[in-house]
């Protein structure tokens, strides 16, 4: 969607300027790697050396990561996002802005509404994944819905809901 706002009608995809998409995660988005930062560019997985050339860089910052070097400002920022005290000029500036926004009633309501929407989407995603897992276990292990849910340790109070979704 970012590309739509950057390219004019008739422009080539390769005309896109360097852009960054940064995800700030309070969990390791690629479990088991424990990196503080992951950097990706658009390249073809099926053919070595073939790239889109759009210069889009996606960076995932992981507040829980311990591997890899990051700039001191980024390290302090990640610690702040993870709940630690804001240290360093850069992080303190961000913390001050966060506090200012929190004090603004209209922005606070928008933020809380956004947080609720994010939590709802996360809940729905977890449910969808659980339904998918139940279906896979049923198919691969030739189990009934009940057996699959027990196998996956679905809490008894949630089994009726998931049985209806499968």
64 with 118, same domain?
no
What DSSP character marks residue 11? -
- Per the structure, the count of domains in the chain is 2
3 with 60, same domain?
yes
Residue 119 phi, psi (nearest 5): -65, -40
Beta-ladder partners of 61: 24, 37
| Residue 14, domain member (yes or no) | yes
- Provide the residue range defining the domain that includes 125: 114-166
| Residue 102, domain member (yes or no) | no
pLDDT recorded at residue 1: 42
DSSP 26-94: SS-SSTT--BSEEEEE-B-SSSTT-B----EEEEEEETT--BS---HHHHHHHHHHTTPPP-SHHHHHH
66 with 120, same domain?
no
Q: Of 18, 51, 70, which residue is a domain's last? A: 70
pTM passes above 0.85: no
Give 11 or 112, the one with higher predicted confidence. 112
| Residue 133, domain member (yes or no) | yes
Q: What is the pLDDT of residues 99-130, one digit of tens each?
A: 888 787 777 788 788 889 999 999 899 999 99
| Residue 58, domain member (yes or no) | yes
């Amino acid at each position: 969607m970012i590309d739509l706002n950057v390219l004019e009608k008739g422009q080539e995809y390769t005309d896109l300027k360097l852009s960054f998409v940064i995800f700030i995660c309070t969990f390791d988005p690629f479990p088991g790697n424990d990196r503080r930062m992951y950097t990706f560019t658009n390249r073809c997985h099926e053919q070595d050396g073939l790239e889109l050339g759009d210069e889009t860089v996606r960076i995932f910052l992981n507040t829980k990561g311990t591997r890899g070097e990051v700039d001191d400002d980024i390290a302090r920022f990640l610690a702040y996002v993870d709940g630690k005290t804001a240290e360093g000029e850069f992080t303190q500036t961000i913390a001050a802005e966060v506090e200012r926004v929190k004090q603004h009633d209209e922005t606070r309501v928008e933020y809380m509404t956004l947080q609720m929407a994010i939590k709802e989407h996360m809940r729905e995603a977890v449910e969808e994944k659980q339904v998918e897992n139940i279906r896979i276990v049923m198919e691969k292990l030739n189990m009934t819905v009940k057996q699959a849910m027990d196998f996956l340790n679905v809490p008894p109070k949630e089994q009726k809901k998931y049985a209806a979704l499968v």
